[in-house]
C-alpha cells in the first residue's frame, strides 16, 4: 500500500483510507433521498438553535435537552438501521448492548463520581469563589456569541486533551481502549475506559449553568454536530459544514486501522481547530480499530490502562530474565 | 449445584434436520467459513466440531458466542445437527440489571450520607452575593430586538444538584429488556445462519469435478 501524502505525512500506508472530499462516495437514490440527506444536518442544527433561542424559560431547561437528546439518538439509530453507510458497521445485538452499557455507566456511576471529585466539584468551588462582576462583559454579549464561545472554549480544551492522549503514553493508556472499536455507531462515543470518560468529561461545560439559555444553545452544537462523529449513515454534508464542523468522515479516519490517519482530527465539534493546528485530514475509512482490528472485550476495556501500565513498568524497571545455559 | 437448571441463561441449544444422506464432513465443510474468523479456533473429531472465540470482530456473525460444540447425529429419522453454544455476552446482559440497581442504591446511600453538607446554610456573604446576582441579569439589545425571552431570575430556593438514582433504574430496565430480546433473537439468528449455510450453494471443495 502506497498511501497518500498529506503535508509531511503519508496516510493510508498500513490500511486503506480515502483522502480528499472529491474521492468520497455520495448518497445514492432518488432526488427526495438526496435532498433529505443533504439538508438533514443543517436543518436539525438551525431548528434546535431557534428552539433554544425562543423557548420560554419554563421549557428551556436541562431536562428538556436530555429528552430531546434521547429522542434524537433514537431517530439516528433508526436512520442507521434503514440507511447504513457501511454494511460492515451494521449494529448487532451485542454491539448495541455493549454500547448501552458504557452509556449507562456515563449516566450513573460516572456522573456520581463527577459530582464528588470531577468537574462538578471543581465548578462548584470556582463558582463560589468567583467575583461575578468581572463576568458582566460576557453575560452582556448576544446569546449566540455566548453559546459559540462556550462551545468553542470547551472544544478547544477537549482538542488538546485528546491530542495529549495521542501523544503522551500515560494519557494514551486511558484512551487506547476507545480505539479498539471496529465500527462506528451512534453510541460508540461512550465506549472506552471509565478513566478516559472521566478525563474527557472534565471541562467548563457545567461552569455556565448560571446562563441556562446560552449553555443550552452551546449544547446544541454538541448534540447536532458532535453526535455525527460516530454514526453509520452517509450524508451529502454541505461543503461549508465539513469545513467548520467535525463529521463522521473525519472521525472514521481518526479511528482507521492506519496509524498515521489516527493522528488527525482531534476536535469534537469544531474541525477548524484541527485546521488551525494542521492536524485536519479530510477523508474517510471503513476498516477501523487497532492490532489488526481485534475487538476489545468490556473486561479488557476496564483493566487495559492499568494492566498495560504494569507491563510497561515491569519491562522498564523489572529484573531482567537471564537465560541459564544448559549444562 | 446443578448448573443445568439455569444454564439456559447463557447457553443456546438447538438442532437442525439435515438433508438426506448429508455426511458430517459435508455439513462441517459448509459451516467452515463461520469458524475461519479472526480470533476463532476450532477442531473437528468424529462428527463433532468444537470452537472457541477470543475478541471476535463485531462483523463476525457468531461474535455473541465464546465457545460451542456442534454434533452431527442420527435421531432415528435421519441426520441431525445438534448444537450447544455458550455466550458470556448473554450472561453479562442478564446480570447487568443487578449492577445498575446497585448503582442506584449507591446513589441513594451517598445522597443520604451527604445530606447535612448539601443543605448547609448559606453564609450571609453568599446571600448578599445571590441578591447582587439576581439584580444583574443583563440582556443584549440584539437578543431583545430578535424577541428572545428575558433571562429568568435565579431561583433562591434552588437546591444543589445531586445525582438521582432514576437513570440507574431506567438502565436496569433497558438491560432486562435487552436480555429477553437477545436471548430469543440470537437463538433465532444462529439457527437461520446454520440453515442458510447448510442449504446454500455447495462449497467448491465438495462440488463434483466438471
Q: Which of B92, B136, B168 sits opposite A136 (nearest CB)?
A: B136
**Which has the closest alpha carbon to B70: B88, B91, B53, B45?**
B45
Would the pLDDT of A320 be above 90?
no
Tell me the per-residue pLDDT of A254-299, one tens digit each, with 9 for 90 and over. 999 999 999 999 999 999 999 999 999 999 999 999 988 888 999 9
Q: Are A308 and A174 in contact (CB under 8 A)?
A: no
Number of Cβ atoms within 10 Å of the Cβ of B174: 18
In angstroms, the separation between the Cα of residue B76 and the nearest Cα of chain A is 36
Give dist(CA A290, CA A16) in Å, integer: 14
Q: How far is B93 from chain A (nearest CA, A)?
A: 7
**Tens of pLDDT, residues B151-160:** 876 665 555 5
Bridge partners of A4? A11
Strand partners, B79: B74
What digits encode the pLDDT tens for the residues A297-306? 999 999 999 9
Average pLDDT for B78-84: 91
Model ipTM value? 0.86
Instruction: List, for residues B111-130, the tens digit of each pLDDT value.
Output: 887 765 544 555 555 555 55
Give the Cα separation of A286 and A256 in Å (integer).
7
Per the CB < 8 Å rule, is B89 touching A104?
no
Considering only CB atoms, B163 lies closest to which of A98, A112, A210, namely A112
Nearest-by-Cβ selection for A54 from B59, B148, B161: B148
Q: In Å, what is the CA distance from B182 to each residue of A41, A94, A187, A265, B61? A: 32, 8, 18, 36, 14
| A33 or B3, which is more confident | A33
User: CB of A177 within 8 A of CB of A300?
Assistant: yes
User: How close, in Å, is residue A291 to chain B by CA atoms?
Assistant: 11
Are B140 and A57 an interchain contact pair (Cβ–Cβ within 8 Å)?
no
For chain B, the distance separating the N- and C-terminal CA atoms, rounded to the nearest angstrom, is: 57
What pLDDT was estimated at residue A196? 87
Q: What is the dihedral of CA A72, A73, A75, A80, to 10 degrees?
A: 140
* pLDDT over threshold 50, residue B145: yes
Domains of chain B: 3-91+179-206 (3.30.530.50), 120-157 (no CATH)
The shortest C-alpha distance from B38 to chain A (Å) reads: 8
Q: Report the C-alpha gap between B96 and B15 in whole angstroms.
A: 29
Burial class (CB in 10 A: 0-12, 13-18, 19+), A239: exposed
From the list A60, A94, A101, which residue is nearest B63 (CB)? A94
Across the interface, whether the CB atoms of B38 and A292 are under 8 A apart is answered yes
CA distance A294 to chain B (A): 6
Look at A139 and B89 and tell me if their CB atoms are within 8 Å: no
Burial B13-31 (b: 16+ CB within 10 A, else e): eeebebeeebebebbbbbb
Q: Kindly tell me if the per-residue pLDDT of A114 is higher than 80.
A: no
Nearest Cβ partner of B149 from A57, A109, A295?
Answer: A57
Q: Which residue of B has its CA nearest to A57?
A: B152
The answer to whether the Cβ–Cβ distance between A97 and B93 falls below 8 Å is: yes
Assess contact for A142 and B143: CB atoms under 8 A. yes
- Distance CA(A162)–CA(B157), nearest Å, equals 39
Give the least confident one: A36-50, A213-227, A240-254. A213-227
Q: What SS3 state is found at B20?
A: coil
Sign (positive or negative) of CA dihedral B55, B58, B61, B62: positive
CB A184 within 8 A of CB A88: no
- What is the residue whose three cell numbers read 461512550? A190
Q: What Rg, from alpha-carbon coordinates, does chain A have?
A: 21
pLDDT, chain A, mean: 89
Measured in Å, how far apart are chain A's first and last C-alpha atoms? Answer: 49
Residue carrying the nine cell digits 432518488: A30
pLDDT tens-digit profile of A147-188?
Answer: 999 999 989 999 999 999 999 999 999 999 999 999 999 999
B144 in Cβ contact with B77 (< 8 Å): no
Q: What pLDDT score does A63 carry? A: 87
Amino acid at each position: 500500500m502506497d498511501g497518500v501524502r498529506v503535508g509531511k505525512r503519508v496516510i493510508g500506508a498500513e490500511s486503506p483510507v480515502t483522502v480528499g472530499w472529491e474521492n468520497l462516495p455520495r448518497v445514492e437514490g432518488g432526488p427526495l433521498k438526496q435532498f433529505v440527506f443533504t439538508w438533514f444536518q443543517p436543518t436539525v442544527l438551525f431548528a434546535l438553535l431557534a428552539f433554544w433561542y425562543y423557548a420560554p424559560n419554563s421549557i428551556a431547561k436541562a431536562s428538556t435537552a436530555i429528552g430531546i437528546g434521547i429522542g434524537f439518538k433514537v431517530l439516528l439509530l433508526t436512520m442507521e438501521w434503514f440507511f447504513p453507510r457501511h454494511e460492515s458497521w451494521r449494529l448487532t445485538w451485542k454491539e448495541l448492548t455493549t454500547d448501552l452499557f458504557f452509556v449507562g455507566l456515563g449516566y450513573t456511576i460516572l456522573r456520581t463520581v463527577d459530582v464528588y471529585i470531577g468537574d462538578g466539584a471543581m465548578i462548584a468551588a470556582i463558582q463560589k469563589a468567583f467575583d461575578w462582576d468581572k463576568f458582566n462583559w460576557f453575560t452582556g454579549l448576544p446569546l449566540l456569541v455566548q453559546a459559540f464561545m462556550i462551545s468553542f472554549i470547551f472544544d478547544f480544551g477537549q482538542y488538546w486533551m485528546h491530542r495529549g492522549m495521542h501523544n503522551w503514553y500515560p494519557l494514551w493508556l486511558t484512551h487506547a481502549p476507545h480505539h479498539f472499536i471496529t465500527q462506528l455507531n451512534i453510541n460508540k462515543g461512550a465506549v472506552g475506559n471509565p478513566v478516559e470518560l472521566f478525563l474527557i468529561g472534565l471541562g467548563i461545560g457545567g461552569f455556565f449553568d448560571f446562563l441556562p439559555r446560552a449553555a443550552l444553545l452551546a449544547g446544541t452544537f454538541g448534540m447536532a454536530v458532535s453526535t455525527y462523529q460516530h454514526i453509520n449513515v452517509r450524508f451529502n454534508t454541505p461543503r461549508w459544514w465539513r469545513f467548520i464542523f467535525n463529521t463522521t468522515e473525519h472521525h472514521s479516519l481518526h479511528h482507521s486501522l492506519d496509524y498515521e490517519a489516527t493522528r488527525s482530527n482531534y476536535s469534537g465539534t469544531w474541525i477548524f481547530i484541527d485546521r488551525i493546528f494542521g492536524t485536519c485530514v479530510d477523508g474517510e475509512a471503513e476498516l477501523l480499530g487497532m492490532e489488526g482490528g481485534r475487538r476489545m472485550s468490556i473486561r479488557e476495556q476496564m483493566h487495559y490502562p492499568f494492566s498495560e501500565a504494569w507491563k510497561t513498568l515491569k519491562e522498564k524497571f523489572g529484573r531482567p530474565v537471564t537465560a541459564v545455559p544448559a549444562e | 449445584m446443578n448448573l443445568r437448571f439455569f444454564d439456559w441463561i447463557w447457553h443456546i441449544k438447538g438442532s437442525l434436520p439435515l438433508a438426506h444422506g448429508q455426511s458430517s464432513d459435508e455439513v462441517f465443510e459448509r459451516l467452515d467459513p463461520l469458524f475461519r474468523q479472526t480470533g476463532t479456533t476450532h477442531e473437528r473429531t468424529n462428527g463433532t466440531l468444537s470452537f472457541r472465540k477470543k475478541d471476535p470482530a463485531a462483523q463476525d456473525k457468531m461474535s455473541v458466542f465464546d465457545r460451542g460444540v456442534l454434533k452431527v447425529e442420527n435421531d432415528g429419522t435421519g441426520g441431525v445437527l445438534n448444537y450447544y453454544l455458550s455466550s458470556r455476552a448473554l450472561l453479562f446482559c442478564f446480570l447487568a440489571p443487578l449492577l445498575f440497581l446497585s448503582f442506584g442504591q449507591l446513589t441513594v446511600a451517598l445522597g443520604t450520607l451527604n445530606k447535612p453538607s448539601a443543605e448547609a446554610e448559606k453564609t450571609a456573604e453568599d446571600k448578599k452575593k445571590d441578591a447582587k446576582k439576581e439584580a444583574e441579569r443583563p440582556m443584549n439589545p440584539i437578543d431583545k430586538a430578535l424577541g428572545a425571552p428575558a433571562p429568568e431570575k435565579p431561583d433562591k430556593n434552588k437546591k444543589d444538584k445531586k445525582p438521582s438514582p432514576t437513570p440507574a433504574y431506567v438502565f436496569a430496565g433497558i438491560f432486562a429488556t435487552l436480555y429477553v430480546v437477545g436471548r430469543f433473537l440470537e437463538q433465532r439468528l444462529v439457527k437461520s445462519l446454520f440453515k442458510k449455510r447448510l442449504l446454500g450453494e455447495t462449497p467448491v471443495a465438495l462440488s463434483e469435478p466438471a
